[in-house]
Structure 1
Amino acid sequence: MMKQLLLVALLIVGGLSAAAGKDSITISGYFRYLTDRDSVTLRVYDYYHTSYNLNAEKIYQAKVKGNSFIFHIPQKGVPQYVDLILPNGTEDSTRNLTLYSYLLTDGDSIHYSDRIKDHFAGKRAEKWRIRNQLEKIYIFYASKASQFEGHSIKSTFSASIMDTLLLRQLALIELYKNTLSRQTYDLLKADAVASTIAAKLTSLSYMNAYNKNAVEDFHDSGITDSLLSSLSRNKEMLYSHDYYSAILGSFKILCFSKKQTFEIQNCYNYIRENFSFQVAEKAITGLLYDNRNRSSDISEIIPEALSWTKDENFKRILSNLQQTRLKGASAKNFELPDPKGKIVKLSDLRGKVLVMDFWYTGCGGCAGLAPKLVKIKKQLSNKDVIFVSISADKSKEIWLKSIKQGIYTDKSNTNLLAEGLRYNHPVLKDYSVTGFPTLILIDKQGKIMNNPVDPGKDEGKSLISIVKQGLAE
């Protein structure tokens, strides 16, 4: 019976692939709990995607018909990664059927179903089966390692569990080596190394927060660093979804082990010295983009990085950072409605120092920041300082209700709405807003000022100091 179901699935996938033509990748699925009221989301990442760079991803949606869905994705000539997000259902309450960071290559035609053993069938589906098994190994060992977080005498043991996890994953990949292309084999290895480094870093960060002495005896076997280094000159690493973050994570672990503070300049130097090709370009782009709120720390690094970066996509990302978030950059003009429907332009506010915060209803961090900004506003008490509060709420009704409640913003602020599109709204893109809350300061000439320290960490002293400096200029 199982063989018959598998044959049917393969025939379905084959037919769908033929219908889609030779220029697309097909991802289809069948789950008994899905209904015609449901839709499935597919998030596709280009190779130049870094953790917060939303311009390097595309989102597709497919309506479910008869428990089934299908996507046709354009081929790119290079590997892509996808998140396949299924809606929750009654049969999904005890297991998560959503897939994150699964590799796609040109020519793939993959079917995902609860009627198939191991869930996957179709052309080149073996890499998804392997990826799924790697996740199960990860979950098993990560749960063991988490038992020792916060206990200094166990920190090295926790790291050794992670090393065992990695060796088990690599053994599984090796088992299927002859069924995979060399490119897929290398990328699966890279992503396994990256997930282990991320797990070690998370464990160390937790232990350090829980007990400052928890990492005193930490000793890393060096297995992950050795594998990271062995892959460093493999140009395929450019296409790995997580290899660049493994580079950054490895440096942060090094800082932990040496009891050093993480410094962006030192990390930049580490990448330049140890990695080459576009892999280094991607890692440094990720480093600078992830730390875009630390404008004073990256202002001198970005021009240098631009001078030797060759990949046009990474150059574009770095140039955009330089133009939107660094001190002295011209703030992009916008036109947004206030609660009464009046359009407010940034140019209308020229001559004032602006404290601009981005938020949305339901954002816990935004609710935490709002009362701190109220206190700072009272401390400054200056008519030449305007607090501009830009909401990314989905609707005007939600926004107006939140203004009235005063949880996320103050009624006396210049409240504006960037409605409906969230991160894809032109204003949020212009200011590289990919997280909430985001604070941006603009001087009287319409230039970006330095980013302040989180007001929750220094009681607003940094923000007040920068604003006063702007008033004096």
Structure 2
Amino acid sequence: MSSRNSIIPGALLFLILFSPIVMGKARVLPGKETYAPARFKGIIRNFRGSADSIGIELARNVIADFSGSGNLSKFVLMNVHPAKDGTFSFELPTSTEPGRLTLSMVQFNPDKKRMEPFLSDSYGYIVETGDNLFLDLKYDPSLENVVIKFSGKGSERYNCMAQIKAEMNHQNNIIGEKWVSALVNKNYDYILGKEFLDVNTHGYLEALKVLDSYRNKISRTAYDVMNADIFGATYGWLLGNYKAQMSDKRNTIEVRKKFYDHAISVNIPSLNPTHEIKKDNNYAFSDQYKYWYFINSRIIRLLHVGENISFSFPDLFDNIYNDKTIQGFLKEKLLAECLIMPNVMLYADLNQPGYDSCYQKALLFIKTPYIKNYLLANMQTKRGAVPYNFAFTDQSGKIVHLSDFAGKVVFQDTWFTGCGGCAIFHQLFESEIYPKFKDNPDFVMVSINSDKTKEMWIKSMQTDKYTSQEYINLNTNRQGSDDDPISEYYNSNLAPFLLIIDKKGKIYSRLYPTAPEDIIRDINEALSQK
């Protein structure tokens, strides 16, 4: 099995904490809102007129922090246009769970003829029922970013988060420089030693001081979530970098093993040593803690260093499922995230029957309705499920149906212009996978583009960056990557979106752009079926 590399550069220290929570289109589950909305008023001090507006992204009931999670989560995405004097107001729905709010300044892009964010205050502020705030926004040229001052009911929580962000940015500069310098000079003993761990722990404790100064001014839930954010960003970054170095084949086996040995033995303090269930349930609202720290730490323990770096997906799932120290809501979130987080697939040997078995285990364990409903709605890609029988047009305007390929094995790749992962996968597929099957009369490669204009699709197709003109090339009738029927049917707007459909017209496997051996194995298995 080939190495699956997941690299988190040292210069991106703590970036995972401050990345926007929401990516993808808003789709809101039906249901009556019974909680008081969060109310916001404010002003943009250096307002320039119709070119400026405020981008609002609110995530609630989110399973995981990645594009594609939003199709069944309660997202709110909107642009708020201020009045002529720069004032604005808006309301956001709330529930028993905290929401995560990202704010950005939005400008009209004349080239693309649409509004686009150009400056983002991307903390992921915690929104609670009853918030009633005033926001003072001003562009600071020295920072090249928007500075926001909060006042009103709930403002202590927002100001606390803003101060934590500033403190961790400061720590980012210190720790990031030390990490990069040590790597450049191959001073591995330093970054694997106690001193560097202490530097990271100092950064965590300094941010924690800020949080503790607000402890009596914010809710217990908000405190726990922010603590988990800081902890996950600090030590998740550390483990992520260890994992990147131990899986980087540019390093010698000796260096990679040194990182592996250290990663599985490093003495990271426990966030919840007494396993208090209330804390664990609150930590479940922090993606930085759940994936970047918790799941990352389990992945590292399952990896081995050598020519092959991988593990069976059920090994990871069962490692979490059988852990008696975690229970309830946190375990539900971890199991669901393990099943749907694409980064996991960079390392896991993904065999569809094993994956489907884990899926069924999770459905029996999980009790929280929206988590279970999300998993139930994403069962369209299990083995034997009925695929979407598309009817899309090729470049000549001819309508092509999936059913036209009955009796053949179909490899279906859905992509859009500008998708870096789509371009990388195409190069992998074209060089290592397609040559093995292109002359097989029972194999068909269908490349589906979701660009909104035929011109953009044709131009991209002709570059051979995302697809080959040897394939059957189709477009989703110019409906766009968020609204195309494939995203709607499979409840996923991830790209590339890869499926193998067997000779009987049923889904054989859902694939991720990982090692080519996995994909070759599944295609061969599907071809061998009668």
When normalised by structure 2's length, the TM-score is 0.75
Pairing 1:290-329 to 2, within 5 Å after superposition: 290-291=341-342, 294-296=350-352, 297-321=354-378, 323-329=379-385
* Residue identity opposite 2:443 in structure 1: V
State the match for 2:340 in structure 1: 289
Pairing 1:262-411 to 2, within 5 Å after superposition: 263-272=312-321, 273=323, 274-291=325-342, 294-296=350-352, 297-321=354-378, 323-375=379-431, 376-380=433-437, 381-411=439-469
Structure 1 residue 255 displacement after superposition: 5.0
Q: Aligned match of 1:35 in 37, 49, 53?
A: 49
1:327–1:115 distance in 2 versus 1, CA, 3 Å: closer
How many Å separate the matches in 1 of 2:160 and 2:237?
20
SS of the residue 2:266 aligns to: coil
State the match for 1:3 in structure 2: none
1:86–1:413 distance in 2 versus 1, CA, 3 Å: same
- Whether the 8 Å contact between 1:225 and 1:250 is mirrored in structure 2 is no
SS of the residue 2:179 aligns to: coil
- Whether the 8 Å contact between 1:324 and 1:332 is mirrored in structure 2 is no
Which has the higher mean CA deviation after the structures are superposed, 340-349 or 250-259? 250-259
Question: Which whole-Å deviations, capped at 9, do the CAs of 1:166-202 have from their partners, x for residues lacking one?
Answer: 2122222111111112222222222222222322223
- Whether the 8 Å contact between 1:441 and 1:450 is mirrored in structure 2 is yes
How many Å separate the matches in 2 of 1:374 and 1:255?
31
* Residue identity opposite 2:296 in structure 1: G
* Residue identity opposite 1:60 in structure 2: M
Matched, 1:422 2:468: no
1:253–1:169 distance in 2 versus 1, CA, 3 Å: farther
How many Å separate the matches in 2 of 1:99 and 1:282?
23
Question: Which whole-Å deviations, capped at 9, do the CAs of 1:404-455 have from their partners, x for residues lacking one?
Answer: 3332112232222233442443312433544332321111112222356747
Q: Aligned match of 1:148 in 150, 156, 179?
A: 179
Pairing 1:57-206 to 2, within 5 Å after superposition: 57-66=75-84, 67-87=86-106, 97-114=120-137, 119-146=149-176, 147-148=178-179, 150=183, 151-153=187-189, 154-156=191-193, 157-206=195-244
Which has the higher mean CA deviation after the structures are superposed, 189-198 or 463-472? 463-472
Structure 1 residue 310 displacement after superposition: 0.8
How many Å separate the matches in 2 of 1:241 and 1:186?
13
Matched, 1:212 2:271: no
Structure 1 residue 230 displacement after superposition: 5.0
Structure 1 residue 362 displacement after superposition: 2.1
* Residue identity opposite 1:84 in structure 2: L
- Whether the 8 Å contact between 1:306 and 1:318 is mirrored in structure 2 is yes
Structure 1 residue 81 displacement after superposition: 0.8
1:434–1:200 distance in 2 versus 1, CA, 3 Å: farther
- Whether the 8 Å contact between 2:320 and 2:331 is mirrored in structure 1 is yes
Question: Which whole-Å deviations, capped at 9, do the CAs of 1:47-81 have from their partners, x for residues lacking one?
Answer: 34312312213322222433344332122233111
Which has the higher mean CA deviation after the structures are superposed, 385-394 or 190-199? 190-199
Q: Aligned match of 1:249 in 274, 278, 296?
A: 296
* Residue identity opposite 2:376 in structure 1: S
SS of the residue 1:393 aligns to: coil
1:182–1:377 distance in 2 versus 1, CA, 3 Å: closer
The structure in which a higher percent of residues are strand is: 2
SS of the residue 1:135 aligns to: helix
How many Å separate the matches in 2 of 1:166 and 1:257?
29
Which has the higher mean CA deviation after the structures are superposed, 105-114 or 236-245? 236-245
Q: Aligned match of 2:496 in 398, 419, 437?
A: 437
How many Å separate the matches in 2 of 1:78 and 1:289?
21
Q: Aligned match of 1:222 in 268, 292, 299?
A: 268
Structure 1 residue 103 displacement after superposition: 0.4
SS of the residue 1:355 aligns to: strand
Q: Aligned match of 2:70 in 51, 54, 79?
A: 54
* Residue identity opposite 1:152 in structure 2: Y
* Residue identity opposite 2:320 in structure 1: I
- Whether the 8 Å contact between 1:232 and 1:276 is mirrored in structure 2 is no
* Residue identity opposite 2:188 in structure 1: S
State the match for 2:111 in structure 1: none
State the match for 2:10 in structure 1: none
**Higher RCO structure (Cα 8 Å, ≥6 apart):** 2
How many Å separate the matches in 2 of 1:114 and 1:430?
40
SS of the residue 1:144 aligns to: helix
Number of corresponding residues: 444
* Residue identity opposite 1:373 in structure 2: F
- Whether the 8 Å contact between 1:295 and 1:326 is mirrored in structure 2 is no
SS of the residue 2:227 aligns to: helix
SS of the residue 1:386 aligns to: strand
SS of the residue 2:256 aligns to: coil
How many Å separate the matches in 2 of 1:344 and 1:253?
45
1:128–1:462 distance in 2 versus 1, CA, 3 Å: same
- Whether the 8 Å contact between 1:366 and 1:437 is mirrored in structure 2 is yes
State the match for 2:16 in structure 1: none
* Residue identity opposite 1:344 in structure 2: V
* Residue identity opposite 1:183 in structure 2: T
* Residue identity opposite 1:338 in structure 2: D
Question: Which whole-Å deviations, capped at 9, do the CAs of 1:246-295 have from their partners, x for residues lacking one?
Answer: 43134245557999965543433343322111221111000111158635
How many Å separate the matches in 2 of 1:328 and 1:348?
19
Structure 1 residue 346 displacement after superposition: 2.1
CA RMSD of aligned residues (A): 3.2
1:424–1:240 distance in 2 versus 1, CA, 3 Å: farther
Question: Which whole-Å deviations, capped at 9, do the CAs of 1:359-381 have from their partners, x for residues lacking one?
Answer: 11122332333344345444321
Which has the higher mean CA deviation after the structures are superposed, 220-229 or 287-296? 220-229
- Whether the 8 Å contact between 1:359 and 1:366 is mirrored in structure 2 is yes
- Whether the 8 Å contact between 1:324 and 1:331 is mirrored in structure 2 is yes
